[in-house]
A and B are shown apart, each in its own frame.
Chain A
Amino acid sequence: MKRIGVRLAYFVRTAWRGLRASPVTSAVAVMTIGISLVLVGAFALLLQNMESLLDKLGGELHVTAYLEDGLTQGQQQEIAHLIGTVEGVESVSLITKEEAFERFRRGVGRGSALLEGLADNPLPASIEIALVASRRSASGMAMVVASLDGLDGIDDLASGQDWVEGYMRAVALLRGLGVGLGAILALATLLIVANTIRLAVFARRDELEILSLVGASHSFMQTPFLLEGILQGALGGGVALLLLFALFRVVLPGFEFGLELVLGGVSPRFFALGESLALVATGAGLGLFGSAAAVTGGWRT
């Protein structure tokens, strides 16, 4: 056990010495990993937030049935009752013409003075239809809309169906792009780390020759390089995390409007601790694979 501790200390010391021996190449590798992970991380952040918007919207998805003008209150309530019995409908609530107007006035706020001149209330009465959980999706909504279509007294049916479908497609597209970009960047990062470590092996060939002559095993000679790769990767992951956080805090608030557009009411959320660690671990993993590719070619003594 003691031996293992002694070895580990030696490996860490040697890896650290290796990093410091070539600060420029090491820094380039760290920054490359960092920038790659910033790009991938930014995608992940965007997707994560867009998905949480979808989740949130899921609970609020509803279908609105606009009623024909001229129906009596009793008729309106009858229609609402009828809709309430349709499969997939959880609950209904009737919005009268007056309520609709009141909502609109409040929504417009200060500009409401403009509405004073309006002689007639142009807004129709409507019925807000909440869906059971299993129908809270684009296709679920489509089914409910289809079974309400053509019902007497209903002028028009509106749902977020098209919008939700588009949004889901956008999320899927972004995810695909993110995965593709991630794969390309991972490959580039691996190549850069492998190259950096290969240079380090070359720079230390005298040391390796002597180590081999005094009886060092391959793994004894290789481990510090693997650790060096892991260190570079983890540092790159840390750099990426800091950059992402800075972007999130400093740059994002400047794009409030655009953000509102993609995220709706959801306030943007940064990575949690576990996800942050995963980003650093991804860097470390890339570093490990890159350096492993560099050193497992085997070297001659």
Chain B
Amino acid sequence: MAGTERHYVSTTNACKLCKPIGACLAFRGIEGAVPFLHGSQGCATYMRRYIISHFREPMDIASSALSEKHAVFGGGPNLKQGLKNVITKYGAGIIGIATTCLTETIGDDVPGIIREFCQEEKDLFSNDTGPLLVNASTPSYSGTHMEGFHEAVKAMVGQVATRNGAAEDVNLLPGFVSPADIRYLKEILEDFKVSGTVLPDISETLDGQALLDYEKIPSGGTPISGIKTMGSARATIEFGRTLMGEHTAGELLSTRHGVFLSQVGVPIGIRESDEFFSAMETISDKKIHQKHEQERGRLIDAYVDAHKYIFGKRAIVFGEEDLVVGLTSLLSEIGVIPVLCASGGKSGHFGECVKAVTKGITDAPIVRDGADFFDIASEAKSLKPDLLVGHSKGYSLSRKLNIPLIRVGFPIHDRIGAQRILHVGYRGAQSLLDRIVNAVIERKQDVSPVGYTYV
């Protein structure tokens, strides 16, 4: 049933965002970076607003602020002027330039304009530390915010990484996970005693401290020096089952620089996390730290404790494809039946990946790619779900069906703490499990006429 054809012409209540926002998010995870949109200023403003309401952090995106005239005659001059201002006024160490529908439609040659700019403004680039300009092509009319995200990561690797450096690092390409996830992943790398380059690293840039001062460009992020040496790393670990076999940043590092590539699913739930930890063991040639083994043990124990509350519950899962695949894997492990897996993305691999993580555990769920909430709601009618797992846009449906929504992923703009949600690893599974089970218990308690105190 995978990949059912969509029935409707319009996208109604989309379950995806546009490509450049993904690129901006990824660029935000680079040290000293200012994301820059080549297009009219509106896109930048809208995207900032969305990112800010999720992370509750400042988020700057510069723009070339094209007008009607530029839309007709080309946006080159504005792009150059904008880059110059960002370099001189914000002191950017790196500018991540993403295109928008506008500049893709008019066909601006961004790499060409950037080359010209560097020629014309030699002074700005006179020293080694001069700003790097990285560009990603991100027209929304082909792909979602996730494609934009991966495109930006690939652009960083493709345009910055070299083979100069010590060959003991590990590259970790986690995709779009939360700041809390990144912090935890870095801890895991440390516990395996490997120095790693996590690209991108939004753990500080999008979850900053109250400083009583303001940093124009927030501290933290993947150091550029680290990205420069990615080509000499001993291996790359890349998350995302739908990325396997695609032209990704990991694949680029492997074909161009010969870096060994290990692709695993986003490590959500025990099995996917096991894969990740095993990959870490192989690559680091070290045993898993006892701490993590213990966490796994406690997680198993918790699965056992939780089973009676959630076994046989039916869930609808939605969001980015790889996130949904991971969540589906977790849900099926804990005895919840994923009845519908939906995403606005259309990588073409969604169905097979969902099948891979449910095989042998539960019946293959209905899979809808390129889906919107109108599709999800129509499908939900006959599915009798007990809970929804996904981002805030599922709230209307959860209200209509009167079932809980477990908020994960992006965007979450009706709860606090989105940046602190832990999804990955044993620890992430533990926290998701607790939240899911408690939501189910809470609902049961709330609607019960008895008023159970012990459940």
Does B associate with A? Answer: no
Identify the A interface with B (CB < 8 A): none
